[in-house]
Structure 1
Amino acid sequence: MAHTEELRRLLSKIAEEQNYKNPEIIIKDISSGGANYTSTLHTAIIKAKNKEDLHLFAKIGAVGEKMRSEVNVNFFDTEQYAYLTLFKSYAALEEEHGVPEEHRLPYVKMYGFDNTLYKETLVLEDLTAQGFGSFDRFQPMDWEYAAAAVTECAKLHALSFATSKQRPEEFEKSQEVLKTAWETLKLEHLIEKTMQNALKVINPQHKKSFEKFASQNISKMVEKFYSPINAKIITHGDFRGNNLLHRVREDGKVDIRVVDLQTLQGGSPPADLLYFILTGTDEKFRAKYFDRLVEHYYSQLSAAMRRLHLNPHEVYSKEVFDQELKEKLPYGLALILFLLPIVTIAPDQAPTVDHNLDMSSFTVQNTSDLFSERLNGIINDYVKWGILK
């Protein structure tokens, strides 16, 4: 109740800034269905006479002392920096280079922010009122959605490349702000539990090769997944369906908005791409579209870089990209081992989002049938790719 009242005060301030006189403010709590573990989520409508209803979305921090002591990331400062500084800089770059409107990275409008410790609040436009929604993580992904999402990922990365080349001081400053110390995360207990879950469901013919892979330092492999190799850019860090909003137009085109910017960090371009593929697609999709989606990413990245007057062959060639993708691929399996139980968890089994949440909360005990199906599909692919032997 206390947080709701604080949200109401922030919304009242926003109403005043937007010239809503004597506003009526309606707040509704919503659930992420097990897709968000750092915030409580709310929608709000601000109403006033002779004004269109203002539809807003609010996130209130639910990261308590336990989680903050274990994860050396200030989620809400990162997101505030993204909306107030980084994306404004990206928009200015697009304007400077005359990027056509249809090829610009679409941004979600931020209306307000409260950085009170333990009660951090971010208020954005509510895109659900415009027909956007989250991708259903329990359903198979189709090409149209995947291609549209990867196109936006490529735009995001191209803007980071442009910043690093054309505004190097600004880029270096962003790297300091968005620094993530993966080596400080205590993943061992989480990984141990995840291995136990995995071994219960992995098909017998692959258990030996999986156990051999799992005998490596998985925590170190996760760190390497995120670390840059040759090219360092700002990556999303959690680029998956639940952090993207989409809608399908009448002509069938898919519009994507990239949200949940709490994990922005310096990293390698293939990391976001592989993260998206491994957390959101099934074996059938990858058999048909994996190579095509990889090619689509690089072609879109190249096109976006050219619109920003960069030469992709000089800045980030296809040969370098292919090599980095190959190097990152084994680390992707390490990452997915503890991500997949959370990504596929049933909403009624998801950890409670409150200030008692800590890293141990993510040791899912009751994995879903989808977890078994997706994990075995990924294991089959890693055998096919020659990584599990």
Structure 2
Amino acid sequence: MDDIPQHFNDLVHKIAQEQKFANYDLDVKPISSGGANYTSKLYTVTISEGSRVLQMFAKIAAVGEQMRAHMPKLYDTERYFYTKLDDLYEKIENDFKLPDEHKLAFPKFYGCNPAKYEETVVLENLVVDGYLAYDRMKAIDWPYASSAVKELAKFHAVSFAHWKYYPENFETVMEEFKFDFNMGDDGMKRHMETVTSRAIDLVDEQNKAKLARFFEAALSSPESFAPEFKKSRRPVLGHGDYRPSNLMHKNLDDGKVEIKIVDLQTLQAGSPVTDLLYFIFTGSDEEFRAKYFDKLIDHYYTELSAAMRRLSLNPDEIFSREDFDFELKEKLPFGLTLAVFTLPVITVDTANAPEVNENLDISNFAIEKTSDLYAERLNGVVNDYVKWGILT
């Protein structure tokens, strides 16, 4: 374990002692996300003593000041959730005697290190229990999508309950997680111009001018772009990066899919619609949306309403279908922008993915060698926005 940081080694031994291990063997191995993670170094940790084995998963901060300048709370959010919010969410669910099937299911938290540049979170290793990360190159199917959206609805419903039953604490949390991303500096502006220019080059000829006009208007004021996207009639604590790469799933014998939400580094106060659109446009292709877009939208609100009622919340008072439809219509154009900025990284071949290290900067995400899959997905999204009358 010579290449394991000393602070991480110390944390793992501390956890071992807390879990009542004495004369134990420790095995720590670095792992690769295959281009799905850009903020952390990843490790598996196995602590064994006789027949007793504890298997964990760890994330250690990997980026330096350049990325931190754009995302100053990057490593605070996940730790905050596991140390301060997870227990409250569980209390809310237990207060209403929710059965396990209706509860949120996060990985078990074992410990963390909050020191700057050494930020670490240690969780249970879900892989050993049969959970897998979704193939980022593969478009979502209905069984997976419907389960993921159901879990998202439960996540948002508990946030509504947090607002209803613990209003002062909720306001504190929402202030802690207000959208905080530096959109207006020169580096960000150059990044946005580069990414949009490459997208325009890749779309079919008949749509180039339409996409160019869209971004000329949408990005004329980058500093106001994100807050507009996040505002809501009834804000929640959202995931902020709700895509298949940030979920773990298990295929069950009955054909259903079990989902666990992971990667909580981007928790943000904002509209629940944001997470839903993010999931759809980072995970689906044109064929899926043609069959299931409207169905998935309805499925989300049906599950959200059901989850709210289980927590003794009235959907019509908290976040009505009218509210939801209003925000969906208002924010749907941002789905196109999400696709343009996220799909190059999501679909990049592993060999061309940005390297995870302290020199990582926002400019590294303007992928130079985008994949053929990106062009295919991008053109599918653009076709939909033309069909919906948003790109004209």
Shift of 1:336: 2.0
Q: Which amino acid aligns with 1:32?
A: S
Find the aligned partners of 1:252 and 1:222 in 2 and give their Cα distance.
Answer: 40
Partner of 1:196: 197
Shift of 1:217: 3.7
Contact 1:42 1:59 in 2 (8 A): yes
Shift of 1:210: 1.0
Find the aligned partners of 1:77 and 1:224 in 2 and give their Cα distance.
Answer: 20
Shift of 1:384: 0.7
Find the aligned partners of 1:318 and 1:217 in 2 and give their Cα distance.
Answer: 27
SS of the equivalent of 1:182 reads: coil
Shift of 1:225: 5.5
RMSD over aligned Cα atoms: 1.4
Partner of 1:227: 230
Partner of 1:338: 341
Of 283, 286, 291, the match for 2:289: 286
Partner of 1:125: 124
Q: Which amino acid aligns with 1:77?
A: D
Contact 2:203 2:378 in 1 (8 A): yes
Q: Deviations over 1:191-238 (max 9, x none)?
A: 111122112210011111111112114235741464222111101000
Q: Which amino acid aligns with 1:61?
A: A
1:381 aligns with 2:384: yes
Q: Which amino acid aligns with 1:324?
A: E
Partner of 2:300: 297
> Percent identity of the aligned residues?
47
Q: Which amino acid aligns with 2:276?
A: L
Q: Which amino acid aligns with 1:47?
A: S
Q: How does 1:1-389 map to 2 (within 5 A)?
A: 3-51=4-52, 53-71=53-71, 73-184=72-183, 186=185, 187-218=188-219, 219-220=222-223, 222-224=225-227, 226-389=229-392
Find the aligned partners of 1:125 and 1:321 in 2 and give their Cα distance.
Answer: 35
Contact 2:70 2:181 in 1 (8 A): no
Contact 1:235 1:268 in 2 (8 A): yes
Q: Deviations over 1:72-123 (max 9, x none)?
A: x322211111111112111100001111221111121110101121011110
Q: Which amino acid aligns with 1:175?
A: M
Q: Which amino acid aligns with 1:94?
A: E
Contact 1:222 1:332 in 2 (8 A): no
Q: 1:174 to 1:76 in 2, by over 3 A?
A: same
Find the aligned partners of 2:163 and 2:235 in 1 and give their Cα distance.
Answer: 9
Contact 1:224 1:331 in 2 (8 A): no
Contact 1:236 1:264 in 2 (8 A): yes
SS of the equivalent of 2:159 reads: helix
Shift of 1:327: 0.3
Q: Deviations over 1:331-361 (max 9, x none)?
A: 2212222111111111111111011111111
Find the aligned partners of 1:8 and 1:255 in 2 and give their Cα distance.
Answer: 33
Contact 1:190 1:338 in 2 (8 A): no
Shift of 1:5: 3.4
Contact 1:225 1:271 in 2 (8 A): no
Shift of 1:141: 1.2
Query: Structure 1 segments of 4 or more deviating over 3 A?
Result: 1-5, 182-186
Q: Deviations over 1:243-289 (max 9, x none)?
A: 00001011111110000001101000110000000010000000000
Shift of 1:50: 4.0
